[in-house]
Structure 1
C-alpha cells in the first residue's frame, strides 16, 4: 500500500477516484461508490452527482465493464475520508481475483486548477489508448497526488481518469445511469424482476432512455447476469428521465440506488483513422473504406468481410454472433459499397458497433429476354442458338442485363441493444439530420 503524498489536512474540498475493486464473479466498483456516497456524509457533504467513467473497452486485463468512479466531497477532515475510503476498499474489493488490483487517488481543492488540463488529457488517453501502470504511478509522483494502491495498483489508472472527468465536467459529452443495488443476502442468486415492467418503462421514456430492452430480440438488457450487486441500470439523457423509468420497474427490494453521471453512450472511445496502416489492436476507430470481399458466415455464426482504404490496404471486419439480426444487414453488402465503420480492433479484426452506408454499388443480373409479343420469358433454343418464345416464335440472341434492386438503403445502422458496448453511442442519441438513421429497435 502506498503512502500519502503531499496532503494538506486543512483543505475543505476533495475529489476521490476509485477503480478495479470488482471481479468477473462479483462486486462492483459503482456499488462501492454508492455506499461511500452515504457513508462519507459523516465526514462532510457530497457536492455533485458521482461519476462513472468507462475506459478503453479493449483492455485485456479488465474485469467486466472497465468502469471507474469519482466522488466530490466538501469536508473538514480529509485524512479521515482517506482512511475510511481505504478501509472500505480493503474490506469490499475482490482481492482474491488475479485481475482485481484496486487503486484510489485523492485530489485536493488547492490543486484543482493545476491538475485540470493534465488529468483531462489523462482521461482521454485512458478511454482511447493503452496506459501502463508505471506511467500512472510516475504521474502521481510527479504531481504529488495522494494515492493508495493494492496489489499491483492498476486501478490508479482508472481512478486518475475518473478524477479528470470530475475536474472537467464541461469538456466531455455526458449521459446518466440510475443503478439499483440488491440486498446483500441476494447477491449471487437469480434476480427477481418483472420483465414486462422494463418494456413498459421503455415505452414511456424512449428515446430519452435507451438500452433498457431489445425490442427485436425481446430481451431485457439492463439487468446483469453476473453475481454482482447491481439489480438493474437505466441509461438516459438526464437524471429525471432515468429516475422516472426506474420508478416504473417492478422487482425485488432494493438496498440502495445511485444516479451516476457517465460517459456511456458517447463514442468517446473512437479515434479517427485516416488509413488502415495506422490502426492498432486494443484501440477503437471510425474508418471509411470500400467493401472489398463479399461477407461470409464462418463457424459460430460470425460474419466476416474485408474493407479496402485509398492506399490499397485491407482490414477484416466482423459482425460477431452476439450482434444477432445486425448480421442480416452485413450479409447484404457487396464489394464496391462505400462504408464508414465504427468499432474496436482485436487480433487485427474490427468488431463493428455501427456502420454508415455512404454509397451502394450497382448490382447487375442477367435474365432470359422477354417476348415482345406476349411478354413471357423466352426459353433457350439450344446451346449457342439464343432464345425463342415457344408460343410466338420470336427470337433473341442473348440474355438481358439489368440493374437489380437491392434490399438495402444508405444510412446509419447499429448493432441491437443486446450487443451494444457501454461507450457506443446509440442512434437514439444521434442528432444528425443529413442521413437516415436505422435504430436497432
Structure 2
C-alpha cells in the first residue's frame, strides 16, 4: 500500500432475514475480499441495538470495518455491489443501509455519531431521523428499499469512532455457503469441554443446568457457532477445543454484547415507555402466577403506588422457579425490556425479603395435640379434652431464596444482557452462579 492512503469506516446493517444470510458474515467476507487493496486497522465492530424493535430481522446487529486504502471509491463500489448481490432483498423486512466515513470527516462527526450509537441502543429511531442525520453530516451512504439499515450503519460507525464503551468479544465461525440450510455439525462434547477449559473468561457457550448448547444457531444463516468472552485470546483458546464441520472463514468482533448498554434507570413506573429497557426498583404486590404457556408473571409496585407486570417467560426455564418463590412485600430491582406494559425479566436483584408465615391449627394447651376445626367461624376444638380456641397458630418460616442477584440461564440470555460474572464483586451480595 502506498503512503497516500485514506482511513475509512464502513458501516453496514440489515442485510439478513430470519431465513438466511447474516450481516456479520458480509462484514467478514468484505474484510477478506478487500484485503488486496485495503487493510483492516482495528477489530471489526459488532453492535446490538435496541432489542425491543419489532421490525428487526434477528438479533438487531450492525457492523463496521475500519480500513486504510489507496482507492476509497473502489472500496465503496465493492461494498455496495457485494451488499446488493448478497442481501436478502426479496424479504420485505430486509432494507440494507451502508455508510462511508473518511478520515477528513472523523472529528467533525465523532461526537454526533457516538451519541447516535448510544441513542440507538436505548431508544426508538425512525428512518427519517437517520436519513436527515446522514445528509446533514454530508456523509456518503447507500440505501436499498426503505433504507432502515441506515440506522444501524450509522450506529456502528458511531461505535467505531467513539471506542470508549464497555465491550466484550465474539469469535464467529462461518459455514460454507453451499451447506447453509442443512443441519450444522458442531460436536456438543467439544463445546462443553471448551466451556470447562475457558469459563469464566468465556461464557454462554453452553447451559450447564439445562444441559444445552447455546452458541450454535438454528436458522439457515451462515453462522456455524459464536464464542463470547472477555478478550480475543480467550475466545480463540475456547475455539481450539471445538470439533465441527469445515469452516469457510472466521472473524473476531469487538462488541457491546453482555454490557447492559440498553438499560435505562427508571425512578418510577410512570417514566416507563414501550419498546425500551429498564432498571426498576419496587415491591412485589401479588403472588406470582404461572399462566398458559408456562410463563410466570407478578406485579411490581413503585413508591408512587403504580404497578407494572413483570414476566419470566417459558424460555427462561429454571429461572421461573426462583420467581415463583417471591411473595408480596419483597423488594426487588428488575432488569429487562418493556413490551405490552410487561417487563421481560433478564435478571433481578432481591434487596429485601418479606417475612413468610405458616398458619396452622393451634395446639391444645392441656394435652398438646393439634386441635381440629369446630366449623365455619367457630374456631377450634380439641377432640380429646374439649378445649376450645379462636386463635390460629402463626409461625415464621425460612424463605427458600436469599438477598442477591439472579439471572436467566444462558439458553434464555439476550445479546445485550450483562452476565453476573461480569459484575464487580461488591455489586453481588450473593453470586447466583450458573
1:308 aligns with 2:311: no
State the Cα deviation string for residues 365-400 of structure 1 (Å, max 9, x = none).
2223446788x642338454745484x998866332
Cα gap change, 1:78/1:370 in structure 2, threshold over 3 Å: closer, same or farther?
same
Shift of 1:432: 3.4
| Preserved contact between residue 414 and residue 438 of structure 1 (Cα < 8 Å) | no
Partner residue in 1 for 2:400 = 407
Q: Which runs of 5+ in 1 are unaligned?
A: 1-9
Task: Give, in whole Å, the separation in 2 of the partners of 1:270 and 1:321.
Answer: 22
| Preserved contact between residue 387 and residue 398 of structure 1 (Cα < 8 Å) | no
Number of equivalences: 429
- Indicate the SS of the match to 2:79: helix
Partner residue in 1 for 2:213 = 220
Moved more, 222-231 or 399-408: 399-408
State the Cα deviation string for residues 56-106 of structure 1 (Å, max 9, x = none).
000011000000000000111100000000010011100000000001101
Partner residue in 2 for 1:53 = 47
Partner residue of 1:418 out of 401, 405, 411: 411
Task: Give, in whole Å, the separation in 1 of the partners of 2:292 and 2:118.
Answer: 37
Task: Give, in whole Å, the separation in 1 of the partners of 2:6 and 2:402.
Answer: 58
State the Cα deviation string for residues 227-256 of structure 1 (Å, max 9, x = none).
000000000000000000011111101001
Matches within 5 A, 1:95-244: 95-169=89-163, 171-244=164-237
State the Cα deviation string for residues 336-393 of structure 1 (Å, max 9, x = none).
111100000111111100111110111122223446788x642338454745484x99
Partner residue in 2 for 1:6 = none
| Preserved contact between residue 417 and residue 440 of structure 1 (Cα < 8 Å) | no
Moved more, 71-80 or 401-410: 401-410
| Preserved contact between residue 403 and residue 430 of structure 2 (Cα < 8 Å) | no
Partner residue in 2 for 1:380 = 372
| Preserved contact between residue 363 and residue 371 of structure 2 (Cα < 8 Å) | no
- Indicate the SS of the match to 1:200: helix
| Preserved contact between residue 361 and residue 373 of structure 2 (Cα < 8 Å) | no
Moved more, 431-440 or 322-331: 431-440
Task: Give, in whole Å, the separation in 1 of the partners of 2:388 and 2:374.
Answer: 12
Partner residue of 1:294 out of 282, 287, 290: 287
CA RMSD of superposed structures (Å) = 1.7
- Indicate the SS of the match to 1:254: coil
Task: Give, in whole Å, the separation in 2 of the partners of 1:74 and 1:319.
Answer: 47
Cα gap change, 1:202/1:377 in structure 2, threshold over 3 Å: closer, same or farther?
farther
| Preserved contact between residue 15 and residue 87 of structure 2 (Cα < 8 Å) | yes
| Preserved contact between residue 379 and residue 391 of structure 2 (Cα < 8 Å) | no
Task: Give, in whole Å, the separation in 2 of the partners of 1:109 and 1:137.
Answer: 21
Task: Give, in whole Å, the separation in 1 of the partners of 2:156 and 2:374.
Answer: 75
| Preserved contact between residue 377 and residue 389 of structure 1 (Cα < 8 Å) | no
- TM-score, normalisation: structure 1: 0.94
Cα gap change, 1:268/1:386 in structure 2, threshold over 3 Å: closer, same or farther?
same
Partner residue in 2 for 1:267 = 260
Partner residue in 2 for 1:3 = none
Q: Which runs of 5+ in 2 are unaligned?
A: none
- Indicate the SS of the match to 1:216: coil
| Preserved contact between residue 17 and residue 93 of structure 2 (Cα < 8 Å) | yes
State the Cα deviation string for residues 191-225 of structure 1 (Å, max 9, x = none).
01110111111111111111100111100010000
State the Cα deviation string for residues 282-303 of structure 1 (Å, max 9, x = none).
1100000111111111111111
Cα gap change, 1:106/1:437 in structure 2, threshold over 3 Å: closer, same or farther?
farther
| Preserved contact between residue 369 and residue 387 of structure 1 (Cα < 8 Å) | no
Partner residue in 2 for 1:25 = 19
Moved more, 397-406 or 76-85: 397-406
- TM-score, normalisation: structure 2: 0.95
Task: Give, in whole Å, the separation in 2 of the partners of 1:331 and 1:403.
Answer: 19
Partner residue of 1:280 out of 251, 267, 273: 273
Cα gap change, 1:324/1:438 in structure 2, threshold over 3 Å: closer, same or farther?
farther
